[in-house]
Amino acid sequence: MSPETKDKRLLTRDQMARRAAAELADGWLVNIGIGMPTLVLPHVPADRDVIFHSENGIVGLGPAPADPADYDPDLMTAGKKPASLIPGAAIVHHADSFAIVRGGRLDAAVLGAFQVAENGDLANWKLLGAKGGSVGGAMDIAVGAKQVLIMMTHVTKDGEPKVVKALSYPVTARNSVTKIFTDMAVIAVTADGLVLDELAPGITADEVQAATEPNLRLNDSLKEITV
């Protein structure tokens, strides 16, 4: 990837979050993963009633407090970051939280990833060579959610593709990912392979393909991401 692409044309994390938030439908219960996915919360359109779930036991998770110093130290996200609650939110037992997950009650989950394979396999809990990893509840969530939406940069810091033919990182879940939102594009995972649905402004389909290991099919209605 050229320095020009890296410096000027990639989506910011907030822009990625805004696009991912637009994917969420009215009435959905959505698990929000740690890290980048938490940026989605404030970007949900005002006319959509989306309830966010945090695996540590929050149903009705709100955005991070505007003032990081003004928060309840007993109210944290699964990633141990300051949290807020929406009106009517519930704090539930950890076992009840995972009954929601394992019971198929999540309409979607927004998760981060280290790699996604062309068949939808997900790796997001352990880096190569690391002695340990952050297992958390990602395995349950990736299997239990009806849709799994991934937010991640398109390539690693070394420029290696994160969308790959087959995982080289430890597996979180097989055949689980529905759609990928990166700083270059939106890619759908289908039974017939990966489909390039949308491009970041100024990014070409050829550039996305060059940064992606598997072959991409172009959506007949390929369009630019609205940022």
Active-site annotation, residues = 55
Question: CA angle, 114 as apex, 194 and 23 as ends, to 5°?
Answer: 55
The stretches of 7-161 forming alpha helices (DSSP H) are: 13-22, 94-102, 138-144
Backbone angles phi, psi at 7, to 5 degrees: -80, -35
Which residue in the block uniquely carries the two structure tokens 């880096």? 127
Q: What is the dihedral of CA 67, 72, 75, 77, to 10 degrees?
A: 20
Count each helix (H run) and each strand (E run) in the chain, helices first: 5, 13
First to last CA, the chain: 21
Cα distances (Å, whole numbers) of residue 29 to 24, 50, 110, 153, 186: 9, 6, 11, 25, 22
